[in-house]
Chains A and B, each alone.
Chain A
Amino acid sequence: MEPQQQASKAEAPSVGPDLAAVYLEHRETMYRVAFGMLRTDRHNRAEDVIGEVMMSMVKNPPRQEVRNWEAFLVRAVQNKIRDLWKSAAHRHEQLVIDEATPLEDERHGGDQVEDDPASGVVELIGRHHRVQTVQDALVELEAWDHQAAHVLWQCAGLERSSQEVADELGVSSSRVRQISAKARKELIKILGAKEVDL
């Protein structure tokens, strides 16, 4: 078969952007949302959730025009995770949805994805952009006090216990907590200078 003929067979009027391209642009936000929601969830992994979201979208692309893909994908991830939480296995283990759900103003269904950037979604996307500023602030913190930045990253970023970090640094755990608190205060100052209020 001639290539031109082959291609014309597969050619369909494109109704929206390629999902692969959309994913490439927004995967960072999707991961952040999934990580945030799954922070205390020991059963589900962000990459599995996002994989399922994207696969189901490849199979059933949105029928209507999506005005805001970032909001749409955030919603899809949120709905998927809530569906997982609502599943029988999780109910059995008595994981209370609201315990791990930061947003109160959103429905818990996952049967339909909307791209209406409701306040909760806007807040999440805004927070995502704020985290990018935090990454810049952490570079400044590192320059200010290397050890404080290291301790903060280990304790708050990687959730290692102060005892673990203390053993590694050869100091007491209360010293680690002091350094961590000092680093947080400095980070707040740096963020304040960048007009990020906490």
Chain B
Amino acid sequence: MNEETDRLLEQLLEEPPGPRREQMLMRLDGDQREQIRALLDAGDLVWEAAHTAPPLEEDPVAAMLGVVPDPGFQLDAAALVRACKASSVKPTALAARLSARGWQVDTADVFRWQTRAAPDVPPALIKAIAEEVRIDPDRLVAKAEPKPNTLRAVAEDVAATPRFRDLAQRFAQIQRMSPTMAVSALRSRMLATVHRGDEPDKEQMLASVEELVRALEANQGQ
């Protein structure tokens, strides 16, 4: 390789995919081009490997959909046993129905939920379970004490404000979910969102929730 090709290769390795990179590649001869393309493709795959979904607890979309487990909204084992009994739904049937709804659940999971605390069950799954055993989701929930954490403490402060309660009410209407579940979803979303940047204060958290609810309402009005 001559000096010019070396320089071109150096530039190519720092060029993202696109027409500019393709134009640069065209300046190489056939064999070289294929070799360099393989190197670039390897780099692109590494880029893709570095750009994955955020961890579940930091994913604001997951929080909004209620798939982030919430220490403040946990499945109550005893309540689940009672609800299954009252609705005559056996663990095998419940597992099968939840699987049919797209949840990765087997009978062993249901037995586990019935015998001990299940902090890994997210609010949306609790809602699905409640629908299958025909009970209000809030009645399947055991309120657990969240671990003290500065950020969580700010979120708890925010959740206690009348403005937040009003927003949760509006969010519940839009999402057709119970107010308790709406509070849980919005609280998880606040916590997920702040992982993106600096720790916000109470007002910033409220403003972000308000912005979300307004956007959803506007969207619904269209």
Chain A binding surface, main DSSP class: helix
Whether B16 lies near A130 (C-beta < 8 A) is no
- Count of A-B residue pairs with CB < 8 Å: 167
Q: Within A15-66, which residues are at the interface with B (CB < 8 Å)?
A: 16-25, 27-28, 30-32, 35-36, 39-40, 47, 50-51, 54-56, 58-59
Any A CB within 8 A of the CB of B203: no
Chain B binding surface, main DSSP class: helix
Whether A181 lies near B39 (C-beta < 8 A) is yes
Whether A21 lies near B103 (C-beta < 8 A) is yes
Distance in angstroms between the alpha carbons of A23 and B67 in the assembled complex:
9
Whether B59 lies near A20 (C-beta < 8 A) is no
Distance in angstroms between the alpha carbons of A174 and B11 in the assembled complex:
11
Interface size on A, residues (CB 8 A): 64
Interface centre among B49, B67, B135, B139 (most CB of A within 10 A): B49
- Interface membership of chain B positions 39-76, coded 1 if the CB is closer than 8 angstroms to chain A and 0 otherwise: 10111111111111110000111101111000000000
Whether A11 lies near B67 (C-beta < 8 A) is no
Of the stretches A83-91, A106-114, A153-161, the one at the interface is A153-161
Q: How far, in Å, is A12 (CB) from chain B's closest CB? A: 9
Any B CB within 8 A of the CB of A134: yes
Distance in angstroms between the alpha carbons of A22 and B87 in the assembled complex:
26
Distance in angstroms between the alpha carbons of A35 and B155 in the assembled complex:
29
Whether B50 lies near A153 (C-beta < 8 A) is yes
Distance in angstroms between the alpha carbons of A191 and B44 in the assembled complex:
14
Q: Within B135-152, which residues are at the interface with A (CB < 8 Å)?
A: 135-136, 139
Q: How far, in Å, is B32 (CB) from chain A's closest CB? A: 13
Distance in angstroms between the alpha carbons of A131 and B122 in the assembled complex:
28
Distance in angstroms between the alpha carbons of A29 and B149 in the assembled complex:
32
Q: Within A56-78, which residues are at the interface with B (CB < 8 Å)?
A: 56, 58-59, 69
Can you show 6 pairs from A to B with CB atoms below 8 A apart? A3-B136, A31-B54, A39-B47, A131-B49, A156-B46, A156-B47
A residues neighboring B (CB under 8 Å)? 3-4, 6-8, 10-11, 14, 16-25, 27-28, 30-32, 35-36, 39-40, 47, 50-51, 54-56, 58-59, 69, 99-100, 102, 127, 130-131, 134-135, 138, 152-153, 155-159, 161-162, 174, 177, 180-181, 184-185, 187-188, 191, 198
